[in-house]
Structure 1
Amino acid sequence: MLLKVLRTYLRPHGRLLLGVVVFQFAQSIASLYLPSLNADIIDNGVAKGDMAYILRLGVVMLLITLGQVACAIIAVYFGAKAAMALGRDLRGAVFHQVGAFSEREVSKFGAPSLITRTTNDVQQVQMLVLMTCTLLVSAPILAIGGVIAALQQDVGLSWLLVVAVPVLLLSISLIIVRMVPQFRLMQKKIDTVNQVLREQLTGIRVVRAFVRETVETERFEQANMGVTLTGLRSGRLFALVFPVVMLVVNVTSVAVLWFGSFRINDGSMQIGALIAFLSYLIQILMAVMMATFMSIMIPRAAVSADRIAEVLDTESSVLLHHAPVTSLRGKGTVQFRDVTFSYPGAEAPVLHHLDFEAVPGRTTAIIGSTGAGKTTLVSLIPRLFDATGGSVLVDGVDVRELEPDLLWSRIGLIPQKPYLFSGTVASNLRYGKPDATDEEIWEALDIAQARDFVADMPEKLEGPIAQGGTNLSGGQRQRLAIARALVKTPEIYVFDDSFSALDTATDARLRLALGQRVANATVIVVAQRVSTIIGADEILVLEHGEIVGRGTHDELIGSNPTYAEIVGSQLRAEEVA
């Protein structure tokens, strides 16, 4: 999977990679040529006392070294540019793929894991490419070229290469084999830390309300300690690599000098050749070390690439039609025809054979007990999920056949838990209509009963909004979410229990103002309070995913036991209050 990811996302940057190979090759050739020049100076210059010869070759060595430095800088620049471009493209691909997911796929992976895959996992693959460009390209050139150059200096010491290289490979391989499982475990531990941290930050009010700070602190410490211990285990193993390499290099160097001294003594070898042989041997071992160092990074990057590819290869359950409808003639009619919906792995469907129609100019309300399937029902209209049976139609066209942007442009969804983005009041309200004027925004705020608290902000429409709207109360967030939908002026309004955080008086004023604004639109309201839907043109009573009653408030109160029970329970609650 790692090769697939690299092949796909490095292909557009082939020129950069070619530049890395060319300049790394030039740098490696220079590295292989310098020891032979050094040997030549010692054996033919120093030994004969020819200072001119020494200076001439010294200048050549200096020029080659400067060229080597220039090649190294350019190669690293090209490699870094290719690696950063890969990271950018991978993050963009993952973000684009996640953006196409339905809620089903997002729930399957989990938000913390998706964040880790987009950041930490991409970084691991990116670092592999960077290190490959700076180390691995030159390693085989230095290793093979070093062997050839060393044999040219002296064949008699070649048996040291045959011993040293396998010993180094075997030693480091034993360490790497034990490190690979730790890398895989590390990514899972990071997922866990992200999950715990996200839950604690999002649910900070609940944590404090139930005085669970100590418990949550211990929970985070456990997750944090899991990452720490895994990191320590892999770190201890990694710490062995360089001592092992240096031990082999130093022992081999001593052996070269020891056995080389005998060959110099009997005239079979010159001093310069011995020094050059030692330089080549060290280059060979360093090349082997670089290759094995890369083999340490490859398993971790492979784990990360698998996790990235898992996201990229996951198809959304909400698929684009092969020939989507790009225009509609109606004004926002919504129809449910024998709609059934089941969550993956569920024993029974959440919704059973639903049939109803919501038309422009009328308000269709949905009420039912907790878990009846109300939110799931309205989630099928904008295709947050797709029905597993039957069909949901907008203006007579199945939503699965509609071009997504066309469908979403016609729907204003106000979710049960309103979410505001970091920015300003204006930027949030312009989310569905970027070119909305200030007058349109203030008009929407008026209807949503949000003008007063926005006008009280020092910056008015430019008042800051924290991520998630955490600097506002629940009722203020709900009213801004309603205003955001109103600015968009869609043909279909879907209110998913969007008035629950409002007091009764604000709720009444908002519904009165809202009625005039959405008089010609299709309005679907999910509510818990009967007072919110008492004036609806049609009320659907949902129980265990089935419609058990439909009609106006007056019709249902006397004919539907479920609705009558809901009304009665709320009246008793008001009497007690």
Structure 2
Amino acid sequence: MIKTLSKQIKGFVKESVLTPVFMILEVVFETLIPLLMASIIDDGINKGDMNHILFVGGGMVLCAIGGLICGILGGSFGAKASAGFARNLRRSMFANIQTFSFSNIDKYSTAGLVTRLTTDVTNLQNAYQMILRMCMRAPTSLICAMVMAFIINAKLASVYLVAIIFLAIVLASLMKFTMKYFNQVFKKYDDLNASVQENVSGIRVVKAFVREDHETKKFSKAANNLYKLFVKAENCMVSVTPIMQLTVYACIIAISWFGANMIVGSTLTTGELTSMLTYCMNILMSLMMLGMVFVMITMSAASAKRVAGVLNEKSNLTNGENPVKNVPDGSIEFKDVYFSYNETGAEPVLDDINLKIKSGETVGILGGTGSSKTSLVNLIGRLYDVTSGEVLVGGRNVKEYDLEKLRDEVSVVLQSNVLFSGTILDNLRWGNENATEEECVNACKLACADDFIQTFPEKYNTFIERGGTNVSGGQKQRICIARALLKKPKILILDDSTSAVDTATDAKIRKAFAEEIPNTTKLIISQRISSVQNADKIIVLDNGKISGVGSHDELLNKNDIYTEIYEAQTKGSGDFDAKGEM
């Protein structure tokens, strides 16, 4: 974990080194001041030597100025180093998340990743600044003050040694208890963020069903659970300050008592006692600083584990040696394919799939909810790897291809369409960032999107709100189809991506595909018979197995599932759309 996080200091090593250097110099200057003060009392005031007082006093002023300058520089470099560390953490986490396969992403909730990028990184930033400044300053101040105190009077200085041992035992015991609670706290942060995210993204549904009170209670419950854990953790931490103060005052009383007896016995001077009391405060203030560092490190330890977990997570989909960078055609073949989302022996969601699709064919995929239609097509672009068997594209195993090149040739319009904030042209150019406006318009004409875009005042420069909330579901689907077409892929997968489009428009889209991109292999997942009945072949899936493969007429004669769906739709008794033939 420490090794992983330490790599993120890159670019701010100089600041990370200079911060503790200046903090140590500040401590050195501060440590000299009590020693000079003792000299003023014993050799200046007691002997009436004004020159000595002025000379040593000047030295104290220079030490104070030196300490001030070092403190300012240490704080400045520390702030820059910790802010840079946090920036690098966020960049590295976000960049690594972009490399995740779907199976990697499945391990983390969206809210959990957001918490890691925000709250957890902020905790680490604060902790890193404390480590650079206080973790160097406090021990150095403690050691310097202890050394000077033992030089002045070893017997009296042993009081500090007892105090340090006592506090070390107390802090170690508290850390053991608080770590357990803080580990739970950040998991609850995930739940809280998940509640907020779900509510905000679904606010229209919440208001439509008048469920504001229900959502408020759900959020309050999550916030209350977080509150209870924080109270338990903080109850352990609050005892640090009173124990520290008790130790400080006990030391001052002990030093004053034993020191006064030594002065009476002529084994200690007044100046030395004054220095000892000052060093007492230095030592105990250092211990209090260490206590603060202890609190911060305890809180950030749980955050460090969570952040390091994301940084160390590696995609299980990688390129092999010398990956193939050219996909010759859009032919697809499944050989004895079994696939399961859980690799620990769970029942496969795809079972013994054997299938051949020629380049340029239009293939319909039909099946009930949960029949693994989407799982099947996800294997083509290697969004997941097969559990066993082979998936071939262009006659080669998909694992042999360069991932980026393979996915450039396999364009997918997902079941849940996503648009990003920006203009329509910006969204279309996700398919091809170098596409001209004319190419974008042509793609939209194929997807039957140009008609409605032309009705907008700013046409293709119309701004799309985040998530595409200012366009309808059908409009969003057509823009997404046009975006996929701009990639000019060898394989086009439409995953139920015309479900929000009326049947007439659906027919126009399919007709345009057949005429304009005949060499592209087209896989159409749909709930409508009308969307797939004119395909070259139709695949019927049932519980992850192929129930039938053939043309519309062939399946009507020999496949019960297909016949049942067809009759339900044509008679109007099913929940599928029954119109819109090509």
In the superposition, the TM-score normalised over structure 2's length comes to 0.93
1:36-76 per-residue CA deviation (whole Å, 9 max, x = no partner) reads: 11111222222233333322222222222222122122222
Name the counterpart of 1:340: 338
Name the counterpart of 1:258: 257
**What is the CA-CA distance between 1:209 and the residue it aligns to?**
4.5
Contact 1:333 1:522 (C-alpha < 8 Å) held by counterparts: yes
**What is the CA-CA distance between 1:198 and the residue it aligns to?**
2.2
Q: How does 1:67-466 map to 2 (within 5 A)?
A: 67-328=66-327, 330-344=328-342, 345=344, 347-466=346-465
**What is the CA-CA distance between 1:13 and the residue it aligns to?**
4.4
1:214-270 per-residue CA deviation (whole Å, 9 max, x = no partner) reads: 222211111111112222332333333223222321232233223322322333222
Contact 2:431 2:485 (C-alpha < 8 Å) held by counterparts: no
Change (3 A) 1:575 1:278: closer
**Cα distance between partner residues in 2 of 1:413 and 1:12:** 39
SS at match of 2:326: coil
Counterpart amino acid of residue 459 in structure 2: K
The answer to whether the aligner puts 1:19 opposite 2:18 as a matched pair is: yes
1:327-366 per-residue CA deviation (whole Å, 9 max, x = no partner) reads: 23x1322222222111215642111222223333321111
Name the counterpart of 2:36: 37
Counterpart amino acid of residue 197 in structure 1: V
**Cα distance between partner residues in 2 of 1:358 and 1:84:** 54
Name the counterpart of 2:560: 561
SS at match of 2:557: helix
**Cα distance between partner residues in 2 of 1:247 and 1:91:** 41
Counterpart amino acid of residue 335 in structure 1: E
1:370-418 per-residue CA deviation (whole Å, 9 max, x = no partner) reads: 1111010011111111111211111112111111111111121100010
**Cα distance between partner residues in 1 of 2:358 and 2:119:** 48
**What is the CA-CA distance between 1:310 and the residue it aligns to?**
2.6
**Cα distance between partner residues in 2 of 1:471 and 1:40:** 78
Deviates more, 1:555-564 or 1:339-348: 339-348
Name the counterpart of 2:496: 497
Contact 2:419 2:468 (C-alpha < 8 Å) held by counterparts: yes
RMSD value over aligned CA atoms?
Answer: 2.2
**What is the CA-CA distance between 1:419 and the residue it aligns to?**
0.8
**Cα distance between partner residues in 1 of 2:350 and 2:78:** 54
Work out the number of aligned pairs and report it: 575
Deviates more, 1:12-21 or 1:545-554: 12-21
Contact 2:42 2:271 (C-alpha < 8 Å) held by counterparts: yes
SS at match of 2:356: strand
1:482-507 per-residue CA deviation (whole Å, 9 max, x = no partner) reads: 11112222221110011001112222
Counterpart amino acid of residue 65 in structure 1: A
Contact 1:432 1:488 (C-alpha < 8 Å) held by counterparts: yes
**What is the CA-CA distance between 1:174 and the residue it aligns to?**
4.0
Change (3 A) 1:186 1:378: same
**Cα distance between partner residues in 1 of 2:400 and 2:121:** 35
Counterpart amino acid of residue 409 in structure 1: D
Contact 1:173 1:292 (C-alpha < 8 Å) held by counterparts: no
4+ aligned runs moved over 6 Å, structure 1: 574-577
**Cα distance between partner residues in 2 of 1:229 and 1:92:** 33
**What is the CA-CA distance between 1:11 and the residue it aligns to?**
6.3
**What is the CA-CA distance between 1:446 and the residue it aligns to?**
2.2
Change (3 A) 1:178 1:564: same
**What is the CA-CA distance between 1:524 and the residue it aligns to?**
0.9
**Cα distance between partner residues in 2 of 1:133 and 1:207:** 47
SS at match of 1:539: strand
Contact 2:240 2:291 (C-alpha < 8 Å) held by counterparts: no
**Cα distance between partner residues in 1 of 2:236 and 2:187:** 19
Change (3 A) 1:18 1:479: same
**Cα distance between partner residues in 2 of 1:270 and 1:413:** 86
Counterpart amino acid of residue 334 in structure 2: F
**Cα distance between partner residues in 2 of 1:192 and 1:340:** 35
Contact 2:4 2:311 (C-alpha < 8 Å) held by counterparts: no
Contact 2:259 2:268 (C-alpha < 8 Å) held by counterparts: yes
Name the counterpart of 1:551: 550
SS at match of 1:137: helix
Counterpart amino acid of residue 38 in structure 1: M
**What is the CA-CA distance between 1:450 and the residue it aligns to?**
2.0
**What is the CA-CA distance between 1:479 and the residue it aligns to?**
1.1
Contact 2:9 2:88 (C-alpha < 8 Å) held by counterparts: no
**Cα distance between partner residues in 2 of 1:575 and 1:403:** 44
Q: How does 1:459-538 map to 2 (within 5 A)?
A: 459-538=458-537
SS at match of 1:157: helix
| Unmatched 5+ stretches in structure 2 | none
Contact 1:358 1:523 (C-alpha < 8 Å) held by counterparts: no
1:413-452 per-residue CA deviation (whole Å, 9 max, x = no partner) reads: 1000101112221211111211111112222222222224
Contact 1:5 1:305 (C-alpha < 8 Å) held by counterparts: no
Contact 1:76 1:133 (C-alpha < 8 Å) held by counterparts: no
Deviates more, 1:78-87 or 1:217-226: 78-87
Change (3 A) 1:30 1:495: same
**Cα distance between partner residues in 2 of 1:31 and 1:250:** 21
**What is the CA-CA distance between 1:30 and the residue it aligns to?**
1.0
Change (3 A) 1:524 1:475: same
Contact 1:342 1:348 (C-alpha < 8 Å) held by counterparts: yes
SS at match of 2:486: helix
**Cα distance between partner residues in 1 of 2:151 and 2:164:** 18
SS at match of 1:549: strand
In the superposition, the TM-score normalised over structure 1's length comes to 0.94
